[in-house]
Every structure is written in structure tokens, then in C-alpha cells.
């Protein structure tokens, strides 16, 4: 790959983000991403642009659906509705509009995950004073991943959270927090299938300790849905 050629570099970034590379190309590109922070940032910037474009498309489609709900049929074609049925039709129409508005809100609004416990005891039954370098590294990678998400560097955030999950014997709270943040990072880096896989794993959890509420779960579900659809 000749990344000294700017046109080639931009074309490679676009094909990578759109999933158009063959396996050897993708493997080489992944290797370059690991060793080239500037390239990783350019990829994150391009993926963020794609995300904005998708959000705009989703919003326009939902707004179009809302507009259709408000259209009144011509008087000559409108059937006579018995008076007792009118409240039912009005209720159903309002309910449909509310559902569409909720989908619009969930699809384009940001996800707010709970704050994590800011301490070094991320490994169960371990004295913080005797944490190994790899255990302290897990702590550092987690907060670096949060920062990279805030900065829009989603691919770098993916690598951070993946490093955290390599640590053995993580506390359930910290492990779940890492996975939820990894879902966000996968979405931002245009990897919706990976995001869906981890989301389903967490959503089916019966004894979870990291509190993610219904609204934020709904936002993530719809974002994953649209990302996989487009």
C-alpha cells in the first residue's frame, strides 16, 4: 500500500470504512492502523462523517413518515366514521406518531453510559498496592478508551477496550462497563455486527451489575438496527 500518495491513501481509507477491502488488504490495513496514530485518526474522522450522514438519512426518513401520518385523505374518499369510533382512531393515530417520534429520538440522540468506579481494584480480590503492570494497564486502557470515544477516535477506542478484556479475573462491574463502551466504539467505527453481538450478550444478562437503563439500551438498539440496515 502506497500511503505516500494522498489519493491512494484516501481511497484506501474509504474502502476500509465501507468494508470493500479483501482479506489480505484488510489485514495489512489493520496492521498499519496499529502502528500509525495519524492513519487511525483519519479513519475515525471518516467513520464519524459516515455516521453523521447515516443519522441525517435516518432523520429525513422518519420525518417523512411523520409527514405521511399527518396527511388527510381527500374528503370525497374519506369514509364516514361513527362518532363512537373517532376517539379510537385519534388514539391510534397519536400512538403511531408517538412511536415514530420515539424512534427518531432514540436513533439520533447520544447514549449516556453510567460513570465507572474510579479505582484500581478492577481485578477481584486483589490488593491495589500489588497490582501487576498488566492490571494497571487495563485501568489505563479503559479511561483512554472513554477519552477516545469523546474525541471521536472510535477505532482507537475499540483497541483500548479489547486490551482491557484481555485482563484475567476482571470484576463483573468493570467487565460489563468495558463491554458497553465497546458497543459504542464498534458503532462509531462502523462495525455494527460486532456491536450487535456484544449488545445481545449484555441484554440477555440476568445478573448484571453495571446499570444501563431502558432508554440508553433503546438508543443503542436502534442505532445498531439502522447501522446494520444501511
- What string of pLDDT tens digits covers the 230 residues of the chain? 566 666 777 788 888 887 788 888 888 888 888 888 888 888 887 777 666 666 656 556 656 655 565 554 444 444 554 554 445 444 445 555 556 666 666 667 788 887 665 554 554 555 555 566 777 788 889 889 988 998 889 999 999 999 999 988 788 888 999 999 999 999 999 899 999 999 999 988 888 888 888 888 888 988 898 888 76
> Domains in the chain, start-ordered, CATH in brackets?
128-229 (1.25.40)
- The pLDDT score that the predictor gives to residue 97 is 56
Question: Rounded CA gap, 166 and 91, in Å?
Answer: 52
Q: So what's the pLDDT on residue 154? A: 92
Please say whether the beta carbons of 30 and 155 come within 8 A. no
Give how far Cα 104 sits from Cα of 63, 109, 225, Å.
Answer: 8, 8, 13
Q: Is 164 exposed, middle or buried (0-12, 13-18, 19+ CB in 10 A)?
A: buried
Are 46 and 17 a contacting pair, CB within 8 Å? yes
Confirm if 187 and 227 have CB atoms less than 8 A apart: yes
Amino acid at each position: 500500500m502506497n500511503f505516500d500518495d494522498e489519493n491512494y491513501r484516501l481511497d484506501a481509507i474509504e474502502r476500509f470504512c465501507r468494508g470493500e477491502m479483501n482479506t489480505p488488504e484488510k489485514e495489512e490495513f489493520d496492521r498499519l492502523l496499529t502502528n500509525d496514530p495519524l492513519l487511525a485518526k483519519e479513519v475515525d474522522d471518516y467513520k464519524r462523517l459516515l455516521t453523521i450522514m447515516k443519522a441525517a438519512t435516518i432523520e429525513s426518513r422518519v420525518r417523512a413518515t411523520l409527514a405521511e401520518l399527518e396527511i388527510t385523505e381527500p374528503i370525497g374518499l374519506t369514509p364516514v366514521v361513527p362518532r363512537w369510533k373517532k376517539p379510537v382512531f385519534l388514539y391510534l393515530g397519536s400512538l403511531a406518531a408517538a412511536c415514530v417520534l420515539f424512534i427518531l429520538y432514540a436513533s439520533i440522540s447520544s447514549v449516556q453510559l453510567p460513570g465507572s468506579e474510579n479505582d484500581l481494584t478492577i481485578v477481584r480480590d486483589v490488593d491495589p498496592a500489588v497490582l501487576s503492570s498488566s492490571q494497571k494497564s487495563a485501568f489505563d486502557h479503559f479511561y483512554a478508551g472513554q477519552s477516545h470515544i469523546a474525541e471521536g477516535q472510535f477505532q482507537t477506542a475499540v483497541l483500548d477496550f479489547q486490551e482491557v478484556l484481555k485482563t484475567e479475573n476482571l470484576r463483573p462491574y468493570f467487565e460489563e462497563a468495558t463491554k458497553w463502551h465497546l458497543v459504542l466504539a464498534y458503532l462509531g467505527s462502523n462495525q455494527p455486527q460486532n456491536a450487535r453481538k456484544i449488545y445481545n450478550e449484555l441484554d440477555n444478562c440476568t445478573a448484571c451489575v453495571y446499570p444501563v437503563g431502558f432508554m440508553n439500551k433503546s438508543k443503542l438498539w436502534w442505532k445498531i438496527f439502522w447501522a446494520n440496515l444501511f
